[in-house]
Structure 1
Amino acid sequence: MALGGVQMVTVFAFAINNFKRSEEEVDALMALAKARLLELYQHGEVISRYSVRVRVVGKKELLPADVQEAIMTLEKATCHNTGAVLNICMPYSSQDEMCQAYASCVDVDQLGECTPPITRKDLDDKLLVSPNVPVDLLIRTSKVHRLSDFLLWQCNEHTQLHFVDQYWPMFGAKELIPILLQYQRCKIMGY
C-alpha cells in the first residue's frame, strides 16, 4: 500500500478461543464479520486502487457457511491483485498455526521414522500467514497490553509494539497514520 511502502498488513479479527463466548456474542461477531467482508467487496475502491489481495487465514471451516461464502467472494475478487496483501486472521490462533505448520512438515516413512530434522525455513514455508516476513509493527487495540496468541512466531526482537485504546471496529486511518509516521521516525533514527 502506498503509505510508507507497506506491502503486507495482517489483522487479528477473531480468535479461535472466541468461540467459547456466549452464543449471542459469537453470532453478533459473525454477523459483523460477514458485513465487513461484504463491505470490502462491495465498496473496495481502496483495495482496487492499490491492487490489494485479501486473504482470510485460519480455521475457516469453523465459521458459519454464510461467512465462508463472503470470504470466498472477497478472496476470489482480489486473488489476482499484486500491489499489497491484507491478511485477515479469523478464526486464528498462533499456537494452532504452529501446530499445523509442524504437522505439515512431518513426513513419516514406511518404517515409522521421521524425515530429517525440521528447519525454521520448513516451518516458515508452511505458515498460514505466508510468505513469512518478520512483523515490523504490531498494533494492539482494545486497551489490552498483550499479544493474545497473535503472530507469536513472526514477532521478533525488532518488532515495535503499539497499544491503543480504540476497539478494533473503531480503529481507522486517522489512528493508523500517526502510528505509521512514528514507526518511520523510529526506523530512520535506528530504534
Structure 2
Amino acid sequence: MIERLWAKFGKTSSQPSEPLATDNLPQHVAIIMDGNGRWAKNRGLPRIAGHHSGMKTVKRITMAADRVGIKYLTLYAFSTENWKRPKAEVDYLMRLPQEFLAIELEELIQNNVQVRMMGYKGGLPDHTLQAVETAISRTANNTGLVLNFALNYGSRKEMLGAVREIAAAVQRGELSLDAIDEKTMSERLLSSGLPDPDLVIRTSGELRLSNFMLWQMAYSEMWFTDVYWPEFTEEHFLEAITEYQRRARRYGGI
C-alpha cells in the first residue's frame, strides 16, 4: 500500500519526489537530540533557550511520528554524562520534563500515546521523577505510539548492569553458562520489551553515538543531519524515513 504521507505535512522544497511506502516504515526510531546549545549561541541566547526551543521540537516530532505510523520513538533526553554540565543548565534540564508534560500530557493521552522512561531513577530530582511517573501511569493503557524517554541513560552502565545480573543468576544456579545468549542479554537491558531501533537519527552534524543504545543499535540504520535539534522539522523527519526506505538491510547477508 502506498500513501502520500507528505501531503499531511505540506509541500516543501526539500520534499522527496517519491511517496513514503507505508509497508516499509521503521518500527522503532531513536533520536539523539543534539545542538540545542549551539543553536542558542548562534543567536546570542543562553543555552537554556536552546533547550526550551528543543522541547517544542519534541512535541512536533512526536506528533509527526504518530501520524506517519511509527510504533516506537525513543528520544535521548539526558545522558549519565550530562551531569558534568554546569549546575544551572542541569537544573533547567531537570525541569523540562515537568514543564513539557504539564503542557502536553493531555494531548498525548488524547492521541493514545504511551509514555515510557528508559534510564536510572536514582539521582533524578523528585519533581522530575514525579512528572515522568505520572505520565507513565496515566498513559499505561494507551495502545498507540510508545514515546520512550532515555533519561539519565548511559549504554555502558546499562550493559554492565545486565552482565552483573547474568553473573549473579549464574552464581545462584538459576542460569547455566551454555544458556546465555543474545536474548539473555537483551532481556536485562533497560530497553527490555522494546524492539531494537530500526533507524537512528542524530542532529547537529556530530557523527558519534554518545553512549546511546550501543547493544541495541548493532544493525540500526544511521541518519545524520547538520540541522540543530530546535530547527529539526517534520520534513527532516520524513526525509530520514524516506532515506531509510531506500536502503537494503542485509544483517550481514548479501
Taking structure 2 as the reference length, what is the TM-score of the superposition?
A: 0.64
The one of 90, 102, 116 aligned to 2:176: 116
Q: Which runs of 5+ in 1 are unaligned?
A: none
Offset of residue 170 of structure 1: 4.2
CA contact (8 A) 2:202 2:223 kept: yes
Cα distance per residue 1:9-33 (max 9 Å; x no partner):
1111100110011111111211223
Partner of 1:162: 223
- 2:81 alignment partner, SS class: helix
Partner of 2:105: 41
Cα distance per residue 1:122-161 (max 9 Å; x no partner):
111111112242321100123211010101001124x211
Offset of residue 115 of structure 1: 3.9
CA distance in 2, matches of 1:172, 1:56: 24
Partner of 1:127: 189
Deviates more, 1:124-133 or 1:85-94: 124-133
CA distance in 1, matches of 2:101, 2:210: 23
Partner of 2:155: 94
Taking the TM superposition and a 5 Å limit, the aligned residue runs for 1:10-49 are 10-44=74-108, 48-49=110-111
CA distance in 1, matches of 2:230, 2:134: 21
Cα distance per residue 1:136-190 (max 9 Å; x no partner):
1100123211010101001124x211112333344342321221122223359xx
Offset of residue 120 of structure 1: 1.4
CA distance in 2, matches of 1:104, 1:169: 39
Offset of residue 34 of structure 1: 2.4
Offset of residue 114 of structure 1: 8.2
- 2:209 alignment partner, SS class: coil
Query: Which amino acid in the other structure matches residue 37 of structure 1?
Result: L
- 1:90 alignment partner, SS class: strand
Offset of residue 2 of structure 1: 4.8
Q: Which runs of 5+ in 2 are unaligned?
A: 1-65
Change (3 A) 1:57 1:185: same
Taking the TM superposition and a 5 Å limit, the aligned residue runs for 1:177-188 are 177-187=238-248
CA contact (8 A) 1:125 1:132 kept: no
Offset of residue 82 of structure 1: 1.8
CA distance in 2, matches of 1:173, 1:60: 31
Name the count of aligned residue pairs.
Answer: 181
Partner of 1:148: 210
CA distance in 2, matches of 1:105, 1:6: 32
CA distance in 1, matches of 2:233, 2:100: 13
CA distance in 2, matches of 1:168, 1:33: 17
Relative contact order: is structure 1 or structure 2 higher (C-alpha 8 Å, sep ≥ 6)? 2
- 1:91 alignment partner, SS class: strand
Partner of 1:56: 117
CA distance in 2, matches of 1:31, 1:167: 21
